Amino acid sequence: MEAFWIILVGSLIAVSCALLGSYLILRKMAMVGDAISHAVLPGIVIAYLLSGSRETLPMLIGAAALGVLTTVIIELFHKKSNLQMDASIGITFTWLFAIGIILISLFAGQVDLDQDCVLYGEIAYVPLDLWITDSGYNMGPRTVWIASGLLLLLLLFIWKGYRGLFITTFNEEFAKALGIGVAFWHYALMGAVSLTTVISFESVGAILVVALLIVPPATAYLITTDLKKMLLLSSIFGILSAIGGYYLAVLINGSIAGAIASVAGLLFLSVWVTGLVKNRAFKLN
């Protein structure tokens, strides 16, 4: 049963990340996803300190706020000061992440958050944190519910917002010329990435969530030329990484999160090597 819960949570998070990551890489914003995943750290710590508990809601709000703020700061440096995009990203997220690390180390005694957990996550603890109702009924691990809720929310967002995301991702200027609010779509997506990051945080950690955001969509991108298929395939690659990663970790008795990211990388490598990429005619249609 433990294995089932861990794989389930891993898959739910992998799919959420894969869906959003597909849009990030098509927008050439993969590293913005990286930045957000790191920069939400101070948001989580501040929310944690203010609320004094590990309640999910304040943490989500804190993280989402910091995530969106990160993208605002990146855009600000990039557009107002003509700083290169990558330099702007590099400054913003390392700085915010550093603040988060300092906050954790300063308050490590008072709060139940430690650097290892934040950086690498601990998906193995998922089955231990159960949601028991007031009447004593065991609803299963809490993270499963949170991750499912997140995935449902994202599916709704992508289903309803498919065209908005599609047109603003492919050709923002044209969308703007049609009067479509491109800023709305940009920040909606960034908010969704922030939320996903913080929820993925506990299970895979701040660093490996980037792997789930980028690697499965990049793998899918290699072999498809249809956005809907790319979303589907990247979700499948994400789930395969979660399953494969769990068993790899059991086999070598190592970190599950690390194994999931490694399997994602191996999947990418094998797809790339298979040479499907070499000839575009082989792309699935």
Phi, psi of 60 (to 5 degrees): -60, -45
Q: For residues 207 and 227, which CB has a smaller minimum distance to other proteins in the complex?
A: 227
Closest contact distance (angstroms) between CB of 178 and other proteins is: 6
Question: What is the Cα–Cα distance from 103 to 45, expressed in whole angstroms?
Answer: 7
Closest contact distance (angstroms) between CB of 171 and other proteins is: 5
Quick one: DSSP state of residue 221? H
Closest contact distance (angstroms) between CB of 60 and other proteins is: 25
The encoded tokens of residue 144 equal 């499963």
Q: For residues 25 and 240, which CB has a smaller minimum distance to other proteins in the complex?
A: 25
Phi, psi of 283 (to 5 degrees): -60, 140
Closest contact distance (angstroms) between CB of 273 and other proteins is: 20
Q: For residues 22 and 200, which CB has a smaller minimum distance to other proteins in the complex?
A: 22
Phi, psi of 180 (to 5 degrees): -75, 135
Which candidate, 128, 178, 126, places its Cα nearest to that of 147?
126
* All residues at 6 or more sequence positions from 23 whose CB lies less than 8 Å from its CB, including other chains: 165, 169, 189
Q: What is the length of the chain?
A: 285
Consecutive H or E run containing 140: strand 138-141
Q: For residues 54 and 283, which CB has a smaller minimum distance to other proteins in the complex?
A: 283
Applying CB under 8 A, the residues found at the interface with other proteins are 26, 28, 82, 160-161, 163-164, 166-167, 169-171, 173-181, 221, 224-227, 229-230, 280, 283, 285
- The answer to whether the CB of 175 falls within 8 A of the CB of 167 is yes
Q: For residues 82 and 253, which CB has a smaller minimum distance to other proteins in the complex?
A: 82
Which candidate, 154, 176, 156, places its Cα nearest to that of 167?
176
Closest contact distance (angstroms) between CB of 190 and other proteins is: 19
Closest contact distance (angstroms) between CB of 21 and other proteins is: 14
Q: For residues 76 and 252, which CB has a smaller minimum distance to other proteins in the complex?
A: 76
Q: For residues 70 and 235, which CB has a smaller minimum distance to other proteins in the complex?
A: 235
Q: Give CA 257 to chain center in angstroms.
A: 13
Closest contact distance (angstroms) between CB of 220 and other proteins is: 9
